Structure 1
Amino acid sequence: MEEWKRSIGTLNEEVLIKLSNMLDNSTYIESTTCSLQVLSAAGSPGRSLLAWLAERSCSLDFLLHCLRKMDHQEAVQFLTTAVAEQIQITVQPESQQAAPGSRVVLTCRASGPPGLSYQWFKGKQETGNSSELVLCSLSPAHQGHYICRINHGEKFAFSQWAHVRLVGCAGSSCSSSLFPGSVSGLHIIQQPQSQAASEGDTLILECTVQANPPAQYEWYHNKVLMPQHKTHSLRIPCVTTAQRGEYRCKVFNLYHEIWSNTATVTVGPGSVTDASWVEVDRVIIFLLSTATDKVALLIGNMNYLYHTQLCAPISDVHELTNLLRQMDFKVVSLLDLNWQEMHSAVTEFLLLLDKGVYGLLYFAGHGYENFGNSFMVPIDAPVSYMSEHCLCVQNILTKMQEKQTGLNVFLLDMCRKRNPYDDVIVRPGLLKVTANIVFGYATCVDAEAYEVKREDVSNGIFISFLKRHVCEDEKVTVMLDRVAEDMGRCVITRGRQALELRSNLSERRSLTDKIQATDCSASSSARNLQWAIAHVLPESLYLQFDCGVKIQLGFAAEFSNVMVIYSRILDKPEEIISCSAQLTDFPEDVDIDLKKSNQESLVEAGCLLLIKEELPSPEAHSLYTRIRSLQRLKRDLTFTVCLHYTYSNMDEEVQERQQVTVGKPLVSKLNLHEARPSHGCSASSSFSLDSFNIPGCSSFAEEPSPSGPASNTWSHYAPSGGASFTDGPLASSRIANVPEETDSPGISDNPRSLVASKSLPHSKVNDSNYKFSDMYNFHSY
């Protein structure tokens, strides 16, 4: 039947809503392995499925077949009735041109329930009530636009507009004849017709016209010109699904132009057989490409104790963190970890994983590859390091698979040369056949990875190209292929560094996939809580000194283990002519460059990635101190605020001191410096990961220290503004990897944003900006 060849997209909104509700409640949808609700704004997996099919111009007949295969009798009956009752225009009225006194017939026909009635209108005036409108003795009064309304009870449908125009007559309202004895103009006498084709068929669309002068033709597919087709007949042999969509023909001569009606072409399997159901399975699999959550661990090692210092990891981790957070990843970003800290960080990362979660591990630093296994080198690795001093990536993958993750992505920005000091053959656990693993290596086997060193900031070659494509809504492997192509076009790396992709990914998994909107499970709540605890900053503090000076202390996160503290004078008595607040007496656990502490700008404080948008006013003058290696903090962070001030009638400077305790900020709560429980270590393994499955071994679950005025309890960082950690990433203000003030509302009248993130412009990775003399190996022997 003709009506069943129509596209699913022709169904009206009411029918689509009812049908999607039936699909949502069907046994088939409920038995799938993953909820589809996240794919639709309305939260309907059935509606998402219908929309997906409609976008591909699948026919109603194909949908009916799918419903029968699902044995959804209620939906089959409803769709059959809806199609029978839906008004569908089968013949549209066509615009026409004719000479005065001639006869013009406009035709409109529709299918649907019995008893359809027709109404013709010229503007707002009703001019007829049958399927054909006959205009006799055509005159200037007949010129204009006509439309037909088809009715059945309260339901109705309108045709397209048809323009009737006089030609060859005298007067301003008629077109003059340029050729004696003939009519000048265009008239389509055969419109291209909508049709359904099977893959491999030959598609033929015809558009026949009467034209004087002769006509030329242009065919358009989905509003895009098809320059190779310039005749009245469009012929495409061996069609595929790529030829689905809408076709129109533009006909023109020296004086006129006219467009044909739209012809909709659907392309499906050769016949409605089991092959059709295979397509439905593909649809379901595509729609199931959603994540229950997305978490990422990013490690950048630069300041090695016994090996070449690196520059790029700080910038690479910073930029990738920002990009991943834009895609709703929960990101932990860490700089300069020793072996114990890397081991503990990976342990915590594995505890964030669960069934269906997307897990991503990025490492930038020294590395090597032996016997097919990749090893990440900690900053405390000895000169002649071996596998026992490093972390084996394949061991981590084995443990990730035990979590039944939905996607496992490893981006390894390190060298892969053979380590001559290491003859031990590490034997990781057997990998499961999961078809969801992707390895993106910055370089090939037995090759080095490079970074570009510049005055302001350095980037690794890999990230320079990865950041162009990582946010694209493409299958992960497709995205990395584009990165590899770009790297291959870079002159200075050609023949020296090339991305290598290893994958067994069978489904269309993308880093941009939505997170499944399901009821908050216990594991999801724990995962959000674990992640949130590692990203809590102390609240702003307000110190009142005996001299009357009021000081604000603000805190900002540069990385998960790097924090910036600023001191700002909020108020001072008039008799004090100058004052400043400096921070001193920090614990030995953390890393602070005393020469760069208490600086007037972020750059002077060592925050090369952060810039101040505008200089602070004299009333809000600030000093900045950058604290690194928070993962080594063994107790609450305590320091002294030393206030220096001078009275107007005194030459001597006066000092006041106050000790401040702010708890354990950011990742310091995880106690990464502590060894995790272990049940033994195999001699053939670089380290034991047995503890990864031990419930309760994570420091995430530990209660934060209650000491200090900024006690980091759960109530401390549950925002009053209504944001919930169980809904995914933190509130939008904390998603970007930019420092953020934690001002308490009502205390400061005009709180300022501390800094903005600095993203390297795309132009900075052009070939012309690279010089080989500026390049350094990530790893050398």
Structure 2
Amino acid sequence: MEECKMSIGTLSEQVLNRLAKMLDNSTCGWRQLANAVSEQAKFRCSESELTSCSLQVLSAAGSPGRTLLARLADRSCSLDFLLHCLRKIGHQEAAQYLTTTVSELIQITVQPQTQQATVGERVVLTCRAFGPPGLSYQWFRGKEEVSQTLYDYVNKKNSLFPGAASGLLIILQPQSQAVSEGDTLFLECNAEANPPAQYEWYHNMVPMTQHKMRSLKVSIPCVTTAHRGQYRCKMFNLYHEAWNSQEVHRSTCRPGIHPLQQMVNPPPSAKDFYATDKVALLIGNMNYLYHTQLCAPIADVHELTNLLRQMDFKVVSLLDLNWQEMHSAVTEFLLLLDKGVYGLLYFAGHGYENYGNSFMVPIDAPASYTSEHCLCVQNILTRMQEKETGLNVLLLDMCRKRNLNDDIIVQPGLLKVTANIVFGYATCVDAEAYEVKREDVSNGIFINFLKRRVCVDEKVTVMLDQVAEDMGRCEITRGRQALELRSNLSERRSLTDQIQTSECSASHSARNLQWTVAHVLPKSHCLQFDCGVKVQLGFAAEFSNVMVIYTRILEKPKEIVSCCAQLTDFPEDVDIDLKQSNQETLLEAGSLLLIEENLPSPEVPSLYTRIRCLQRLRRELTFTICLHYTYSNMDDEVHERKPVTVGKPLVSKLNLHEPRAPRACSASSSLSLDSFNVPEETKPGHHGRQERVVRASERGILLLFTY
């Protein structure tokens, strides 16, 4: 038997494009494939490479899947390993297409023949084929590779090919069903095959360890909500493999009627729902002017950004916004929304709740702030609904204590009955939210648990229920913080739902353009100095408003024994810690999250400078490169300077520091988001925030800060 060792690069462009089309989805696509191929280190993609694949959606003809396949081809990934990975992630359509394509590329001229032999006889098996360059042979006995082409068999039962396979025919398909808690769940599938089929069961793509036996029937007594989801049966033999799936839902049937009797038509699966686009605005406020500083939002926003991008969300991530900047950022976010779009807003920072309304506190809010100094979340939701969004998810990682300084009862515009709203509060009403201080990076309790579940292909509310259960088992916050979920979501919509939009849609193109504008980095520069030194100037994004600039010495004359290129003379608009500028490592430069893989040629020594608050940049970013060098025959250091202008990078192009045009208030709203005026500062006062120390029995003492 032969196995193809050809490279992906031998496939035609037509085949690669069709495979890419199959892989351009969020539930079983290119990201899952990238994770699967990483079992071999040489095929592992860095975070920047995954981001590069993801950004292909901005081009009308761009394909993340095609870009990933090109990277694998460049690394000489074989077709058999690609096929193995496609089967590993359960992409049967792509695996079958690749198998068929490869079989058409290879023409077998001599087939090994079934032979009968007595004990002691010699058996010779021959196979010949021709095809694209790189074709090689492997022999197998069953599933075990044979290291030689001539093999002695001890009896005829051990012959390499005991007979021709007749295929695998599915004769019993599992059906979607609804069951009530406490019922018994029966799962069954069946197939006819030669050799006989074997069976493996999976729950939400995780093997059911309690059902490792090769059985076609599974019985689960006394089901609970944890048993909801998708069950898949893998049927296979030596030659063939097939999958079947079955959805299991919680029943809400009328008393006295068995749930299965109600199921005239099974409920739609998650794949029946889709988004016309997916966009998210993530804001993390830490460095407050008049309030306690926070630690966790930087890590929380960064981690959630990466997870949402894996699900094809267009994400704008911003740190430390004042009132005007938050207002403008929300306005820009609303421009990205349209009919059928999934919109997600996440906020980490100080906050409060009065009379059922939640308020996000900007970093410039005065000590005794009221609603006029903050942004009302319910007002934002009203504006989101006006866009006829398909799903509105608001995740608020902040305190919900009553603000005693604020007696104003805000009356947001009336919400429409859309049945597509999900609120995830990091804590309950009149309670505080906590963050855990670690050695380098802090995490909020909410995100610490959310990041483990957010990419699960489950209804949003089911996923958040699971997060709540996880938090409830945490000893650190038990009795102090509990997730609260508010929702009217009536459909099984998930954050992993695929995007389906009409080609060349004007609104979709506008959203892409608006999102792209906020994520454009300056191009890398190479500067030639008079002394003969050549310096590379590069850029990397940590957030939509935080950028790292690095300098590297690419060439220098032999007579120069040492040199380095440092950055200086930055405009006052942006925020730079001079003590952390021009550092030899990202960690020393204050970047706890950006990794070396995000930057090219990590083996070349570099100096890093981190620029924050790009949203406040009012004109093009200009600075100076100061080259310090020493000649071999001189003791004094020589300086040479070059001014550099790199335009307006990342979110600075949106001019969030500028007020947006006001909009008339609706008759039902006494306080519209766009009707706010920039508030004047009031006298500082006590804001009621405390630090708490909580002892964890197994982890020593952890310092928890409340939001």
Q: Give the structure 1 partner of residue 674 of structure 2.
A: 689
Residue 337 of structure 2: SS of its match in structure 1? coil
Deviation at 1:652, TM superposition (A): 1.6
CA distance in 1, matches of 2:463, 2:184: 34
Residue 295 of structure 1: SS of its match in structure 2? strand
Q: Give the structure 2 partner of residue 408 of structure 1.
A: 392
Q: Give the structure 1 partner of residue 706 of structure 2.
A: 777
Q: Give the structure 2 partner of residue 638 of structure 1.
A: 622
CA distance in 2, matches of 1:488, 1:559: 31
Q: Give the structure 1 partner of residue 160 of structure 2.
A: none
Deviation at 1:689, TM superposition (A): 3.2
Q: Which amino acid aligns with 2:703?
A: D
Residue 388 of structure 1: SS of its match in structure 2? helix
Q: Give the structure 2 partner of residue 745 of structure 1.
A: none
Q: Give the structure 2 partner of residue 89 of structure 1.
A: none
Q: Which amino acid aligns with 2:594?
A: L
Residue 469 of structure 1: SS of its match in structure 2? coil
Q: Which amino acid aligns with 2:410?
A: V
Matched, 1:620 2:549: no
Q: Give the structure 2 partner of residue 453 of structure 1.
A: 437
State whether residues 244 and 266 of structure 1, in contact with CA within 8 Å, keep that contact through their aligned partners in structure 2: yes
Residue 350 of structure 1: SS of its match in structure 2? helix
Change (3 A) 1:376 1:578: same
Out of 457, 466, 480, the position equivalent to 1:482 is 466
Matched, 1:397 2:326: no
State whether residues 392 and 686 of structure 1, in contact with CA within 8 Å, keep that contact through their aligned partners in structure 2: no
State whether residues 425 and 684 of structure 1, in contact with CA within 8 Å, keep that contact through their aligned partners in structure 2: no
Matched, 1:663 2:592: no
Q: Which amino acid aligns with 1:558?
A: E
Change (3 A) 1:429 1:681: closer
CA distance in 1, matches of 2:454, 2:246: 35
Matched, 1:498 2:482: yes
Give the 5 Å matches for 1:560-599.
Answer: 560-599=544-583
State whether residues 388 and 685 of structure 1, in contact with CA within 8 Å, keep that contact through their aligned partners in structure 2: no
Deviation at 1:615, TM superposition (A): 12
Q: Give the structure 1 partner of residue 10 of structure 2.
A: none
Give CA deviations for 1:482-519 in whole Å, capped at 9, x if unaligned: 10001000112111000000001111101111111531
CA distance in 2, matches of 1:666, 1:544: 26
State whether residues 615 and 656 of structure 2, in contact with CA within 8 Å, keep that contact through their aligned partners in structure 1: yes
State whether residues 553 and 568 of structure 1, in contact with CA within 8 Å, keep that contact through their aligned partners in structure 2: yes
Q: Give the structure 2 partner of residue 647 of structure 1.
A: 631
Give the 5 Å matches for 1:251-266.
Answer: none
CA distance in 2, matches of 1:242, 1:612: 39
State whether residues 452 and 770 of structure 1, in contact with CA within 8 Å, keep that contact through their aligned partners in structure 2: no
CA distance in 2, matches of 1:659, 1:203: 71
Deviation at 1:296, TM superposition (A): 0.5
Change (3 A) 1:574 1:344: same
Q: Give the structure 2 partner of residue 352 of structure 1.
A: 336
CA distance in 2, matches of 1:543, 1:361: 41
Change (3 A) 1:665 1:493: same
Residue 610 of structure 1: SS of its match in structure 2? coil
Matched, 1:602 2:531: no
Matched, 1:334 2:318: yes
CA distance in 2, matches of 1:562, 1:315: 13
CA distance in 1, matches of 2:674, 2:579: 40
TM-score relative to the length of structure 1 = 0.56
Q: Give the structure 2 partner of residue 464 of structure 1.
A: 448
Q: Give the structure 2 partner of residue 301 of structure 1.
A: 285
Q: Which amino acid aligns with 1:775?
A: L
Out of 352, 357, 361, the position equivalent to 1:373 is 357
Q: Which moved more, 1:603-612 or 1:454-463?
A: 603-612
Give CA deviations for 1:526-567 in whole Å, capped at 9, x if unaligned: 101110110010000111111111111000000000000011
Change (3 A) 1:651 1:493: same
Change (3 A) 1:244 1:566: closer
State whether residues 424 and 684 of structure 1, in contact with CA within 8 Å, keep that contact through their aligned partners in structure 2: no
Change (3 A) 1:549 1:509: same
Residue 501 of structure 1: SS of its match in structure 2? strand
Matched, 1:546 2:475: no
CA distance in 2, matches of 1:492, 1:236: 33
Give CA deviations for 1:733-769 in whole Å, capped at 9, x if unaligned: xxxxxxxxxxxxxxxxxxxxxxxxxxxxxxxxx9667
Residue 452 of structure 2: SS of its match in structure 1? helix
Deviation at 1:195, TM superposition (A): 11
Out of 410, 425, 435, the position equivalent to 1:441 is 425
CA distance in 2, matches of 1:265, 1:416: 41
State whether residues 305 and 315 of structure 2, in contact with CA within 8 Å, keep that contact through their aligned partners in structure 1: yes
Q: Give aligned-pair identity as a percent.
A: 73
State whether residues 279 and 314 of structure 2, in contact with CA within 8 Å, keep that contact through their aligned partners in structure 1: yes
Residue 481 of structure 1: SS of its match in structure 2? helix
Matched, 1:420 2:401: no
Give the 5 Å matches for 1:727-742.
Answer: none
CA distance in 2, matches of 1:630, 1:246: 51
State whether residues 357 and 407 of structure 1, in contact with CA within 8 Å, keep that contact through their aligned partners in structure 2: yes
Q: CA RMSD in A?
A: 4.6
CA distance in 2, matches of 1:204, 1:298: 43
CA distance in 2, matches of 1:266, 1:511: 18
Give the 5 Å matches for 1:30-429.
Answer: 41=22, 279-280=264-265, 282-283=267-268, 286-429=270-413
Change (3 A) 1:619 1:281: closer
Q: Which amino acid aligns with 2:567?
A: L
Q: Give the structure 2 partner of residue 524 of structure 1.
A: 508
Deviation at 1:686, TM superposition (A): 5.3
State whether residues 284 and 349 of structure 2, in contact with CA within 8 Å, keep that contact through their aligned partners in structure 1: yes
Deviation at 1:688, TM superposition (A): 3.0
Change (3 A) 1:553 1:302: same
Residue 673 of structure 2: SS of its match in structure 1? coil
Name stretches of at least 5 consecutive residues in structure 1 with no aligned partner: 1-37, 45-122, 126-171, 175-192, 206-218, 249-263, 270-274, 692-765
Residue 511 of structure 1: SS of its match in structure 2? coil
Q: Give the structure 1 partner of residue 53 of structure 2.
A: none
Give CA deviations for 1:365-398 in whole Å, capped at 9, x if unaligned: 0000001000000000000100010000000110
CA distance in 2, matches of 1:266, 1:297: 32
CA distance in 2, matches of 1:771, 1:325: 35
CA distance in 2, matches of 1:660, 1:549: 16
Deviation at 1:432, TM superposition (A): 0.6
State whether residues 390 and 686 of structure 1, in contact with CA within 8 Å, keep that contact through their aligned partners in structure 2: no
Deviation at 1:288, TM superposition (A): 3.3
State whether residues 435 and 444 of structure 2, in contact with CA within 8 Å, keep that contact through their aligned partners in structure 1: yes
Residue 522 of structure 2: SS of its match in structure 1? coil
Change (3 A) 1:660 1:485: same
CA distance in 2, matches of 1:451, 1:345: 25
CA distance in 2, matches of 1:242, 1:564: 42
Residue 461 of structure 2: SS of its match in structure 1? helix
Q: Which moved more, 1:365-374 or 1:518-527?
A: 518-527
TM-score relative to the length of structure 2 = 0.62
CA distance in 2, matches of 1:345, 1:243: 38
CA distance in 2, matches of 1:645, 1:619: 21
State whether residues 283 and 348 of structure 2, in contact with CA within 8 Å, keep that contact through their aligned partners in structure 1: yes
Change (3 A) 1:246 1:423: closer
Q: Which moved more, 1:609-618 or 1:326-335?
A: 609-618
